[in-house]
A = this chain, B = another copy of it.
Amino acid sequence: MELLGTSIIGYSRGAETGEIFTAFDPTTGERVGPNFHSAANEEVTKVCELADKARLLYGNLSGRKRAGFLRKIAENIEALGDTLLERASLETALPTARFAGERARTCGQLRMFADLLDEGSWVEASIDHAIPEREPLPKPDLRAMLKPVGPVAVFCASNFPLAYSVAGGDTASALAAGCPVIVNAHIAHPGTAELVGTAVINAARECGMSEGVFSLLFSAGYEIGQGLVKHPAIKAVGFTGSRRGGRALMDIAAARAEPIPVYAEMSSVNPTFILPSAVKERGDAVVAGLHASVTGGAGQFCTKPGLVFVPGEENPDSFVSKMRSLMTSTDPSPLLTAGIAKSYAQGNMKRGGEVETFSANSVDELNGFAVNPSVFETKAATFLSAPDLADEIFGPTTLLIRSDSHDELLEIARSLEGQLTASVHGTEDDLEEYADLIEILETKVGRLIFNGFSTGVEVCPSMVHGGPYPATSDGRSTAVGTRAITRFSRLVCYQNFPDSSLPDELKEDNPLAIRRLVDGK
């Protein structure tokens, strides 16, 4: 498939007049063709108007029809074959095998939501029957269910070119809820975005969806994405990226005449507590697992363990020494973009001014966007006195903090900002001894992990990929798993409506055979 480099504007393609940009090969830092054209401001208006027009038609389609659309998207993505994996690998320097996995996850998510729609009970249908004879006032018939919020703007993630980009989790859950989606492509992998965008728009055509149900905008800067969030037709935003970028969108959305919800997944250092018994009983396994978790995907996972609390002993056989030696002997790896590589270098330099730093020195020259893994060490007291040591550095690095004091760990836990995850390594007895630590961590995170590492996010109903700010903008919701559909829907109640005018989900004889709460039961 030839890449055109233009935005997808409903069932048309965008103009070739906007600012030009390209992808890069992170292993060399060189440009990769073709040229991509930034969308024009009028095109932002156009896609929003199309989405607004499609809103009622798409939102009122049956769940089964929307399910068919989602399944067709998955099929079309798979039909792209190796072309997709190779392009994604070229634009990110991540291996094609990784993208085979990520593609499976992406298509799995789409089909998971399709199954949810086919089953139908996700709408939380609730019925309270009338009691006409009730005193002093009759009780009316009331029936409620979830309906779509309206058009959603989705911002692609740098680090998940498939699973959290054009047809990723946000798009899948918004389309499943019945919301038209406008995607803002990530500048780092526009070719991947165009391939997947084409798969989506072809699926829309093949399934007879109204124009406007999906559009894809390219942009070299921030203006197009910000214009999208400002447009009155947009009713919610999904974003995965930096804290600065997410907060900027939150602020724009909050300042609108009609403020709208932003689901931004931003920043997490995923504190990891390694208790003495874990070091004693299986220190080598833990250090190997930690190293893999910190360096996997070149450290570019939102759940990378960025703060690791370890027992304080300092000797050649200590956990700290072993981790240091593993990290400093790890090969450099290319990061996704020049900007990410620069931020990594700046973050390392700043942190290096405050605490001990160890990084591989064996490589004299780094190619493209490659960086050396690094590891930092300090004591809990230093950490507590320098709050910016808890800032995220995106890339293959972590900070080891030595402490032997239970109370010090509690104080640190209390000082932490919101996180996607926290992990504790130890024994079951430790969990009881540190129940107070767990209680504090519960208030800080979306997911608590025992004897495991935070990277690797299972897609299933019980997964919570969220957490208090700044991990996300909205700690009440999850970006992964079926519950994500509720982020793009809201309850509507029908009072005393005749059966013939009710949605099928609320009709008296339950034609869709879904689970419903009837008279509170």
Footprint of B on A, CB under 8 Å? 55-56, 59-60, 101, 126-128, 136-137, 139-140, 142-144, 147, 149-150, 235, 250-251, 254-255, 258-261, 417-418, 428, 431-432, 435, 438-440, 442-443, 445-452, 456, 458, 460-464, 466, 468-470, 473-478, 483, 486-487, 489-498, 500-501, 517, 520
Contacts and interface: CB of A to CB of B under 8 A. Distances in A.
Copies in the complex: 2
A435 B497 CA distance: 12
Contacts of A490: 446, 466, 468, 475-477
A461 B128 contact: yes
Given A435-B501, A462-B126, A55 B493 contact: no
B428 A498 contact: yes
A491 B469 contact: no
A497 B150 contact: no
Contact of A128 (B445, B458, B495, B497): B458
Contacts of A468: 235, 258, 490
Contacts of A259: 250, 254, 469, 473
Contacts of A440: 56
Given A140-B452, A258-B468, A128 B435 contact: no
11 contacts: A60-B439, A139-B458, A142-B458, A144-B461, A144-B462, A254-B259, A432-B500, A448-B497, A451-B496, A463-B493, A476-B487
A149 B149 CA distance: 24
B448 A494 contact: yes
A164 B477 CA distance: 26
A275 to B, nearest CB: 13
Query: Sorted from nearest, which 5 A-B pairs have the closest CB atoms?
Result: A254-B254, A464-B493, A142-B462, A447-B493, A126-B462
Contact of A492 (B136, B142, B445): B445
Contacts of A501: 428, 431-432, 435, 438, 450
A428 B499 CA distance: 10
A496 B462 contact: no
Nearest to A495: B449
Contacts of A449: 495-496
Nearest to A440: B56
A373 to B, nearest CB: 23
Contacts of A520: 460-461
Contacts of A451: 496
